[in-house]
Amino acid sequence: MEICSVCRKPQNQCACTPETKAKWEHQMELYREHEKERIQYVFRNQPDEIPKRMEMLKRRPTYEQCHCFDIDDDIWPIIELLWQKGYGTRYCCAGHAERKMYSMYIMFDLPYFFDFTTEDFGEGWSYTRTKHQALYFSVTSRLMRQLKKTGEDPGEYLEKQRRKLFDFVKKLPQAQVVSASLRLPGTSAGGKIIKIQEENHHDNKK
């Protein structure tokens, strides 16, 4: 799905005025014409992307002259709701069962507070907080063996996990930025999201 880079709405729902679009065009012209000013127009929230994008721009001068960016259709409703609640995102992927890519992720721009005990995520979920702040799901080899035993299609299982993630996001409060070193409820020291029953078991042992 193509999302407008300015108003952050699907292209067929773009709310930008002609004046806004003209201003954006002017920014893109400056971006292409002035080497030293280009960096400020390159993915403001993605500084790690700057070197790669600058190199691509040299090879193809019109690379960054666009009003939109792509988001996988299957994850767009989740991203849209996160934005509405104040959570900034960088990259995301919904997974691609047709290519046997049974994984998905959402990378965030800041260390937000999440309570992962509000949803029973289970096997394959993790939240990394080292180099990036990112929520991941992947059908692990152990999980794949379990699915083969039960006869469940991994693509359908991935879709179930997307619905579970959507339910989780619906319950989220407005975004709250916290220390990146804060241990988030429902996670292990390594970032694995603990099953609710496992969390209760650990609490009972204390």
Beta-bridge mates of residue 106 = 92, 135
* Token pair belonging to 83: 């934005």
pLDDT band of 57, cuts 50, 70, 90: low
Question: Per-residue pLDDT for 80 more than 70?
Answer: yes
pLDDT of 40 reads 47
**Which 3 state secondary structure label does DSSP give 174?**
coil
Question: Per-residue pLDDT for 31 more than 80?
Answer: no
pLDDT of 63 reads 36
pLDDT band of 103, cuts 50, 70, 90: very high
Q: How far is CA 195 from the centre of its chain?
A: 22
pLDDT of 25 reads 66
